[in-house]
Amino acid sequence: TCLLKSSGRNLLISLNRQFSVSSSNNANKVAVMGASGGIGQPLSLLLKQSPLVDHLSLYDIQHTKGVGADLSHIETKAKVQAFVGQEQLHDSLAGANVVVIPAGVPRKPGMTRDDLFNVNATIVADIATAIAKVCPEALVCIISNPVNSTVPIASEIMKKHGVFSPRRILGVTTLDIVRANTFVAELKGLDVTKTSVPVVGGHSGNTIVPLLSQVSPTVQFTQEELEALTKRIQNAGTEVVEAKAGAGSATLSMAYAGARFAFSLLEALNGKQGVVECGYVAAEGLETSYFATPLLFGRQGVEKSLGVGKITDFEQKLIQVAVKELKANIEKGVKFVNEVY
């Protein structure tokens, strides 16, 4: 459906026409937490290029001053500020209305996203605690893995501080959509810029559920194609982890995906109507308490979930498998916060 046509993506594609896009008077301040990392640097570069960003705040526990000095020389409007180390964490968040979090360790070959839990759970919880205190109204886009658990972790922290809203805590699954669009367009000879594949569930292996029956434009797949494509989309992150052979996971494609997601949010914050992106958020009336679906964005973040729509038996079975794993991932995150914070 045309609803899934992303404005964030269109904006990235048309960055060169950047000075004609924004019409809002609201100043947008985006904070990138983990800005010196493999994702953080190219993501910050894309954000710096965007006319939607007035202020760009970079935070990391290392190297942010260099990244900030470097980016600050680019002739675009976003004002860059760099913060380094725990003692500057709060300052880095002051006034932010969007916070993007790619802080934390990435996978190495043989690792699952859940293997990152022990390190990344604390990183996300600490950043979420600071957000709850400094900019509780900000929209929080979580990239750090395992997203299936880090979104519940950030949400539980917000609840503990009495500032939780399901409109504002979002898990970024956009890379799954980006990959699905690319693979489907390649296979079917479609124009990739006009191909749109909704991906629901979560963001790890079996919890990634592409809805290939809802591809726009309409395409037909054989059962073999459905199975092979689904598997490839679910394991695409591992393709990159293996190709990088110990040097990390997807960074450049993730930076693109994170920027696309952030741009869509910023456009909606500025008043654009009908902006839709898939994302992993607290869900109501579904089998799990968090689930990724297409989301309609508005001036306050998530306006509503558009649900999974009409799905096939094949997709229903995939969702059943996803739900089981998601429940465990969510419970692990909630338990962590309750025990440690």
Indicate if 203 belongs to the active site: yes
Of the candidates 104, 173, 103, 171, the one whose C-alpha atom is nearest the C-alpha of residue 140 is 171
The site string for ligand NAI over 153-172 (x = CB under 6 A, - otherwise) reads -------------------x
What is d(CA 124, CA 167) in angstroms, rounded to the nearest whole number? 18
Q: Which is nearer to ligand NAI, 21 or 61 (CB)?
A: 61
Are the C-beta atoms of 56 and 50 separated by less than 8 Å? no
Residue at 226: amino acid letter: L
Residue with tokens 């500032």: 163
**Please, what sign has the CA dihedral across residues 176, 252, 181, 23?**
positive
Are the C-beta atoms of 198 and 4 separated by less than 8 Å? yes
Please tell me the number of Cα atoms within 13 Å of 204 on its side-chain side: 25
Residue 237, annotated ligand binder?
no
Residue 176: CB minimum distance to ligand NAI, A:
7
210 near ligand NAI, judged by CB under 6 A: no
Residue 144, annotated ligand binder?
yes
249 near ligand NAI, judged by CB under 6 A: yes
**Please, what sign has the CA dihedral across residues 105, 107, 109, 114?**
positive
Among 42, 68, 106, 198, binds ligand NAI (CB under 6 A): 106
Residue 81: CB minimum distance to ligand NAI, A:
15
207 near ligand NAI, judged by CB under 6 A: no
β-strand pairing of 301-305 with 290-298: antiparallel
278 near ligand NAI, judged by CB under 6 A: no
Catalytic residue among 73, 90, 161, 203: 203
The interface with ligand NAI within residues 26-65 (CB under 6 A) comprises 33-34, 36-40, 59-62
Binding span for ligand NAI by CB under 6 A among 75-83, 96-104, 153-161, 296-304: 96-104
What is d(CA 258, CA 186) in angstroms, rounded to the nearest whole number? 22
CA 78 to chain centre: 21
Annotated binding site for substrate: 107, 113, 145, 179
Known catalytic residues are 203
Annotated binding site for NAD(+): 34-40, 60, 120, 143-145, 254
What residue ranges bind ligand NAI (CB under 6 A)?
33-34, 36-40, 59-62, 102-107, 116, 120, 123, 126, 143-145, 147, 172, 175, 203, 248-251, 254
